[in-house]
Amino acid sequence: MVKRIIAEHTMNTKRITYLAAALAFASVAASCEHDEIYEPLEFSVQLAPTNTYLTGDPVAFNFSGNADFITVWTGDTGHEYKHKDRTTVDVADIESCELEIEISQQYGTLNNLDLFAGNKFAGLNGSDAATDRPVVEAIAASSYADWKQLAFTPNSANKFETYTFDITEFADNFSWGMHLYYPDPKTTMRTYRINPKITVRFKGYDTQVYNYLDMEFVPFSLAAQHAEDPYIHNVSGNGNLKFQGQPGANNTANIVFQGFSAGAFPEIEQWAFMQPIALNTISPDTGQNIKGVTDDLPSYEYTYTKPGTYTATFIVANGNYQGQSAPTRYEVTFTVIDRIE
């Protein structure tokens, strides 16, 4: 059996005022008087009696009345009127957060890269080395005490491999970073190419994906040779960290650390941090304007792809050259079921 629901609403009269001005000649003082008229807004929305409300079939909403403006919130994910002002969700409403790191390793015999993630990091200034240096030094001295190290398999195959890490526990203030160091000056240092992506799945909201361009990274070098410019990056030559999309980068991946031959540098102590992101941040739900004052819209159709009980909300108003009446809300609730094969 398929559920059919008819919902109809009537509208209270709304007052619209206008100003009638009587202008006298130059020798007569101007005078004005206010008249009031009542412009009743009549509106009803009715689900078509022949509509079967099956997933994949359009649901028809039939209108009557004289509404000049209609905006609809269809009630499915991302379009619920009750969430029109919502910009965050409870962390408990996050089903999962995943950091996906695609990494290629080339050359070298020793692993000299650590990856780590956490939610205790407040971020770096990015232009004030005196402020940022003690922050990075404290992280280095603590051996990632407030971070979770992200394990990957060292190799020099020059082939991209994908690692997926569960970061749900860090969703409220997520950051991740990398630490490149020089374990043995007598060995060749690897080249690393990295492409990151974050996927957040919510209960009752669309999945959100953060790609590299949605992330902001701040590098900081603790190496003595970089004391004057600890934010060094995107410069030519081996031993440098490069970020795609920034001046000086000509990358084969989003993030590249260019390896180098044994003995080429006295020290490598390079750090890079993604500035923290609250992964429970979302965009407010949206409605769609479907009728303006010059449009003739006797009905509106929308297709629901998932079964469930939905509340469609219509915000309606009247208007003319003098202005617009106060918007009024109408709602219809109905059930959409799966098609029986």
Tell me the average confidence (pLDDT) per consecutive run of 10 residues in the chain, 341 residues long. 34 30 29 45 88 90 94 95 92 94 92 96 98 98 96 94 97 97 86 96 90 96 94 88 74 88 87 97 94 92 95 90 79 91 69
* 57 and 195 belong to one structural domain: no
pLDDT for 205 equals: 85
36 is a domain residue: no
259 is a domain residue: yes
* 133 and 248 belong to one structural domain: yes
The C-alpha atoms of residue 133 and residue 131 are separated, in whole angstroms, by 6
**DSSP secondary structure letters along 231-244:** T--S-SSTT-EEET
> Which DSSP letter does residue 176 get?
E
289 is a domain residue: yes
CB 285 within 8 A of CB 80: yes
Fill in the amino acid letter for 123.
G
* 131 and 213 belong to one structural domain: yes
Fill in the amino acid letter for 336.
V
The C-alpha atoms of residue 127 and residue 226 are separated, in whole angstroms, by 14
Q: Which of 221, 239, 274 is the last residue of a domain?
A: 274
20 is a domain residue: no
253 is a domain residue: yes
Helix (H, G, I), strand (E, B), or coil: what is residue 138? helix
* 53 and 178 belong to one structural domain: no
* 173 and 237 belong to one structural domain: yes
Helix (H, G, I), strand (E, B), or coil: what is residue 165? strand
* 134 and 80 belong to one structural domain: no
pLDDT for 267 equals: 86
* 313 and 221 belong to one structural domain: no
pLDDT for 17 equals: 29
The CATH number of residue 69's host domain is 2.60.40.10
Domain count, the chain: 2
pLDDT for 38 equals: 39
126 is a domain residue: yes
Q: Which of 220, 247, 274 is the last residue of a domain?
A: 274
* 127 and 226 belong to one structural domain: yes
21 is a domain residue: no
Q: Which domain holds residue 263?
A: 91-274
Structure tokens at 60: 């028809």
Q: Which of 245, 274, 303 is the last residue of a domain?
A: 274
**DSSP secondary structure letters along 32-93:** EEEEEEE----EEEEE-TT---BTTSEEEEEEEE--SEEEEE--STT--GGGTT--B--GGG
* 103 and 56 belong to one structural domain: no
* 221 and 168 belong to one structural domain: yes
Helix (H, G, I), strand (E, B), or coil: what is residue 116? strand
* 262 and 290 belong to one structural domain: no
CB 169 within 8 A of CB 147: no
**DSSP secondary structure letters along 182-220:** -S-TTSPBPEEEEEEEEEEEETTEEEEEEEGGG--EEEE
251 is a domain residue: yes
* 124 and 239 belong to one structural domain: yes
**For the chain, what is the largest distance between any 2 Cα atoms, rounded to a whole number of angstroms?**
101
Strand partners, 37: 16
